[in-house]
Amino acid sequence: MKKLLLGNEAVAAGLYEAGVKVVSSYPGTPSTEVTEFAAKYDEIYCEWAPNEKVAMEVAFGAAVAGARAFCAQKHVGLNVAADPLFTASYTGVNAGMVILVADDPGMHSSQNEQDSRHYAQASKIMMLEPSDSDECLKFIKLAFELSERFDTPVILRETTRIAHSRSLAETGERVEPDNKEYTKNPQKYVMAPANAKVKHIVVEQRILDQTAFAEKEAVEIGLNKVEYYSKKIGVITAGVCYDYAKEALGDKASYLKLGCLYPLPVQLIKDFAAQCETVYVIEELDDYIETHCLKNGINVRGKADFTLIGEYSQSLIAKVVLGEEKPTIKADIDIPVRPPVLCAGCPHRGLFYALKKAGVETVTGDIGCYTLGASKPIGMIDTCLCMGASVSSLHGRNKANPEKANKTVAVIGDSTFIHSGVTGLINIAYNKSNSVSIILDNSITGMTGHQQNPTTGYTIKGDPTSAVSLEKLAVAVGIPESNIFVCDPYNLTDSEQAVRKALDCDGPAVVISRRPCALLKYVKHNPPLSVDKEKCVGCKMCMRIGCPAISIKDGKAQIDSTQCLGCDVCSQLCKPGAIG
């Protein structure tokens, strides 16, 4: 039956139909919903892992044991999982294993714009890329067949516009495969040098076999697709760029749509290019297909006409290829930007203010909603690199600049801390660092849309489970118990005191700023606050915390009752006591 499915929802439907039994992932926009939707099927064992490396190894273990298995991550998550990725290429699988990676051209919700197609080439692992939800569903099923046939993990690559677009997809029934038998085979599964040397030869032969598949069979089954219309223009493309090119050029061009991105065919591209007058490679991010064409002596136009930066679109393609632009109208006013902000009632806000009050000058930040603490008027975050880097780089800073250690802290969320902050904290304790790490424990993985994690006490299916005690974990890694402080970020005095005490400690210290995300359904809110206009002196102290519910009208503060959650942080700043 045809349904209007989000790309990620269609992938989950494909997992169900393919008889997948084990799914393990770490959330990351735009990949998160695949695992959330997969968790709705009772037939699939589904979990959130502490990080992408663990998730991929869980999937690997399940596949080798004989059950079809899957893990999903965003592009930067694949960096974390790169270690198992490269060697799983050598061992191969038993039952099928598919790895989803979601790239984010245009960086809607990411810290870089890396092109994961390079991972397929570098790890020598087959990669497929769909162009709409129907292909998400079909390709994920095909990926499992190819994984088993070629004895390799297979990567399914999405980009944001495929992952987060809804289009029609044909759904079907689940085919429940029996587990494949596992037999001991150290030559295959133990990648010590002697075995790995043999396996590398197998991998190179596999690429030759897969290239032959990409040349012919992939065309027969519609994975690689040739469409001839006008041969004046030829377009070699893949993924969402195929959609953009079709909309921009219609039957003014012919198309070679590549569904198999690694390995790429050679003869198929040569034959297509030979039929067309001018051939464009249209691909977002790097010149991956273009380089392959040029290396094989195929004359194509690509990045010299297009760009390495950001998303493509039908209008970009129409402009570059046809020189056409659509007429537009414009409002003749200056429109202020509207970047995202910390929500009204966000517990991070109070902690950031406490840092300021405690005289903190430098804050190493991490990946999560609290990155927004870099924006004005809070403006506290100095760095944001990757998951866990706040804690580890704080240690580096403090070793380089020990005299500033009592003015410098790291902030990291609960989920990010478990993901890879804890290893940095072990380093701090082990290497005797005088560093203050602050865990912003909002009891959920927030920015990706509320996923459970090992600190929350619930699984992805909502079942109660053990919860990591952050206090005990800190003690266990070597932080003295007397150097661990817990505060409620809604209480500014309490939070400031906790930060001051931690900064005054001799040796490493940890502050746990604990208050659940205000958007969690179980969190009860206080009635909205309001401003007593008589008492308000217009000092704008309440504006310093950057709460979207507060604004100034006619020189006095006002609070938007539809947004205010009554967190009371602003009223603690109001000296005349006008807010209540």
Partner 1 sequence: MNKSVMIVGVGGQGTLLASRILGAVLLKKGYNVKLSEVHGMSQRGGSVVTYVKYGDEIASPIIEKGEADIILAFEQLEAARWLEYMKPDGKVIVNTQKIDPMSVVIGDAVYPDGVIDAIKAAGADVLELDALPVAVEAGSPKAVNVVLIGAMAKHTGIEKETWLEAVRECVPAKFLDLNIKAFELGYNI
> One symbol per residue from 365 to 394: x for binding partner 1 (CB under 8 A), - otherwise; what is it?
----x-xx--xxx-----------------
557-576 positions binding partner 1, by CB under 8 A = 562-563
The single residue among 396, 507, 528, 548 that binds partner 1, judged by CB under 8 A, is 548
Q: Does 320 bind partner 1 (CB under 8 A)?
A: no
Q: Which H helix or E strand runs over 102?
A: strand 97-103
The single residue among 123, 448, 453, 495 that binds partner 1, judged by CB under 8 A, is 448
Question: Binding segment for partner 1 among 39-47, 164-172, 287-295, 464-472 (CB under 8 A)?
Answer: 164-172
Kindly give, in sequence order, each residue whose CB lies less than 8 Å from that of residue 96, ignoring residues fewer than 6 positions away.
Answer: 18, 63, 68, 69, 143, 144, 145, 147, 148, 154
CA dihedral in degrees (570, 571, 576, 577; nearest 10)? 160
The single residue among 164, 199, 349, 515 that binds partner 1, judged by CB under 8 A, is 164
Q: Does 176 bind partner 1 (CB under 8 A)?
A: no
The single residue among 45, 48, 60, 244 that binds partner 1, judged by CB under 8 A, is 244
The single residue among 168, 274, 322, 520 that binds partner 1, judged by CB under 8 A, is 168
Q: Does 416 bind partner 1 (CB under 8 A)?
A: no
Inter-axis angle of helices 422-430 and 470-477, nearest 10: 40
Nearest Cα to Cα of residue 449 among 133, 21, 28: 28
Q: Does 343 bind partner 1 (CB under 8 A)?
A: yes
Q: Does 530 bind partner 1 (CB under 8 A)?
A: no
Least distance CB 227 / partner 1 (angstroms): 12
Least distance CB 478 / partner 1 (angstroms): 34
CA dist 112 and 558 (Å) reads 38
Q: Does 165 bind partner 1 (CB under 8 A)?
A: yes
Least distance CB 416 / partner 1 (angstroms): 14
Q: Report the DSSP pairing between strands 550-553 and 556-559.
A: antiparallel
Q: Report the DSSP pairing between strands 22-25 and 45-48.
A: parallel
Q: Report the DSSP pairing between strands 260-262 and 278-282.
A: unpaired
Kindly give, in sequence order, each residue whose CB lies less than 8 Å from that of residue 155, ignoring residues fewer than 6 positions away.
Answer: 98, 99, 100, 101, 116, 119, 120, 125, 126, 127, 128, 262
Question: Binding segment for partner 1 among 89-97, 399-407, 498-506, 547-555 (CB under 8 A)?
Answer: 547-555
Q: Does 447 bind partner 1 (CB under 8 A)?
A: yes
Q: Report the DSSP pairing between strands 127-128 and 260-262.
A: antiparallel
> One symbol per residue from 82 to 111: x for binding partner 1 (CB under 8 A), - otherwise; what is it?
--------------------------xx--
Least distance CB 248 / partner 1 (angstroms): 8
Which pair of structure tokens corresponds to residue 174? 């689940």
Nearest Cα to Cα of residue 396 among 412, 387, 408, 378: 408
Q: Which is nearer to partner 1, 32 or 495 (CB)?
A: 32
Q: Does 238 bind partner 1 (CB under 8 A)?
A: no
Q: Which is nearer to partner 1, 184 or 326 (CB)?
A: 326
> One symbol per residue from 118 to 157: x for binding partner 1 (CB under 8 A), - otherwise; what is it?
--------------x-------------------------
The single residue among 87, 275, 423, 551 that binds partner 1, judged by CB under 8 A, is 551
CA dist 139 and 568 (Å) reads 51
The single residue among 240, 351, 487, 529 that binds partner 1, judged by CB under 8 A, is 240
CA dihedral in degrees (134, 140, 144, 150; nearest 10)? 100
Q: Does 342 bind partner 1 (CB under 8 A)?
A: yes
> One symbol per residue from 462 to 501: x for binding partner 1 (CB under 8 A), - otherwise; what is it?
----------------------------------------
- Gyration radius from the chain CA atoms: 27
The single residue among 171, 278, 314, 383 that binds partner 1, judged by CB under 8 A, is 314
How many beta carbons lie within 10 A of that of residue 528, not counting itself?
A: 15
CA dist 102 and 113 (Å) reads 11
24-63 positions binding partner 1, by CB under 8 A = 29-30, 32-33
Size of the site for partner 1 (CB under 8 A): 60
Q: Does 340 bind partner 1 (CB under 8 A)?
A: yes
CA distances, 580 to each of 167, 493, 533, 570, 575 (Å):
48, 18, 11, 9, 12
Q: Where are the beta strands (DSSP E) in 177-265?
A: 225-227, 233-237, 254-257, 260-262
Which pair of structure tokens corresponds to residue 303? 């990045």
Nearest Cα to Cα of residue 148 among 105, 96, 112, 102: 96
Q: Does 12 bind partner 1 (CB under 8 A)?
A: no
Q: Which is nearer to partner 1, 109 or 291 (CB)?
A: 109
77 SS3 class: helix
Residues that bind partner 1 (CB under 8 A): 4, 29-30, 32-33, 108-109, 132, 160-161, 164-168, 240, 243-244, 246-248, 313-315, 325-343, 369, 371-372, 375-377, 447-449, 543, 546, 548, 550-552, 562-563
